[in-house]
Amino acid sequence: MKIFYELAESFSSDTSLKALGWAEFFQENIRDTDVPARVVSVNKDLFLLNQGGKDLQATLSGKVRYNAGLPCSGELFPVTGDWVLIRDSVITRVLPRRNTLSRGAAGGRGKNNDAATEEQIMAANLDTVLIVCGLDRDYNVRRIERYLTLVYNCNLTPAIVLTKADLHEDPLGCVDEVEGVAFGVPVHLVSAEDESGVLELEQYLLPGKTVSMIGSSGAGKSTLLNRLYGESVQQTGAISQSVGKGRHTTTGRDLIRMPQGGMLIDNPGIREIAFYTDDGGMDNAFADIEQFARFCRFSDCDHLNDPGCNVLEAVASGELSAERLESYYKMKRELGYLLQREHKSADRVEKERWRDVALHIKKMKKIRKKG
């Protein structure tokens, strides 16, 4: 319970709903007299909320708890960043979300690296997602491509933060390399010896704005949060020298009110970047390949062995790296499996619906015969 009270202290007494990110979008979805509040933290079945100057703990109503588990109920289970309606410290409804940052649940992809079968929502109602990567053993351009695809699939706006610049012999070279695969995405360099990179990030934390950070354990997310806040508000851990991985010092998802006026969510480290939905994220994450593909001889070119493939010609000429194309192939296969799974699920629902109809007709015929 200690973390709840520590988070509550980060929300000043003059905090208004607007400063917490309240917008007309949420106002339009209120149809009753219950009071709106924002979810600051989730601890199993207990929720820390803020009402714009007033902090409180709340539980779920029985109706929300029951219906949130039903696939067709439309009821949502609260996550960090959600706006909810409350009555007498009980959450009576979760308001529709502007967006969600979600991924396939860890361990759900199977031994054949198929797409995950369950969705894990990490945060809701975000303005920017900071993809944090350390310039130590954590640095991996292919992983950054996957993070970008994940964020774009969620229809969210990414920015990239390269931390630990003082530990790399050529940090500016890393910036150039990342900018070469993250077209139009801001790339920020952060060093322990220079505050300028940290100050650049304050533009995302304007009043009413909500930012979420994602990245591997040990990438420096918690340290970055502490530097932006001006004091230690999140525990940090050492990096294992043997494997180059950090400890999971962040175990929950907490909405922290920052001195700049905005809010920041520090997610636990992600070990497995699994996709759950395909909403055209690859078109943005691999804009260069999509651009090359426009000039292929065939509109349905698979970029593998079709004649007149402009993508393969770009690889041969050195305009496109073979590693980037292989990364593209891999994610294309994963997302293709996702699409097949969704179609299969839809077909299964339709078959079950018609099976129920057939059983109902059969039952009615028996009743008529008895009559």
Extents of the domains making up the chain: 2-94, 100-266
pLDDT tens readout for residues 150-175? 999 999 999 999 999 999 999 999 99
What local confidence, expressed as pLDDT, does residue 264 receive?
A: 96
The mean per-residue pLDDT over the stretch 301-322 comes to 92
Report the mean per-residue pLDDT for the chain. Answer: 82
What local confidence, expressed as pLDDT, does residue 15 receive?
A: 60
Beta bridge partners of 91: 60, 86
Q: Are 272 and 282 in contact (CB under 8 A)?
A: no
**What strand order describes the sheet that includes 187-189?**
187-189, 158-163, 128-134, 210-214, 263-266, 255-257
Q: Which two tokens stand for residue 170?
A: 């050529």
* Angle value at C-alpha 16, between 12 and 19, nearest 5 degrees: 90
242 vs 244: CA distance, rounded Å = 6
Question: pLDDT confidence of 323, banded at 50, 70, 90?
Answer: very high
pLDDT tens readout for residues 105-146? 755 444 444 555 578 899 999 999 999 999 988 899 999 999
User: Mean pLDDT highest for which of 173-187, 249-263, 336-350?
Assistant: 173-187
Please state, for a pLDDT cut of 90, what percent of the chain lies above it. 51
Question: Which of 51, 216, 242 shows the shortest CA–CA distance to 146?
Answer: 216
Place of tokens 């390399």: 177
Indicate the residue type of 357.
V
CATH number listed for the domain at residues 100-266: 3.40.50.300
For 175-179, 200-204, 270-274, which range has the lowest pLDDT when averaged over its residues? 270-274
Kindly give, in sequence order, each residue whose CB lies less than 8 Å from that of residue 131, ignoring residues fewer than 6 positions away.
144, 147, 148, 151, 158, 159, 160, 161, 214, 215
In this chain, the answer to whether the domains covering 2-94 and 100-266 adopt an identical fold is no
From the candidate CATH numbers 1.10.540.10, 2.40.50.140, 2.60.40.740, 3.40.50.10490, the one assigned to the domain spanning 2-94: 2.40.50.140
For residues 113 and 207, the model is more confident at 207
What local confidence, expressed as pLDDT, does residue 243 receive?
A: 32
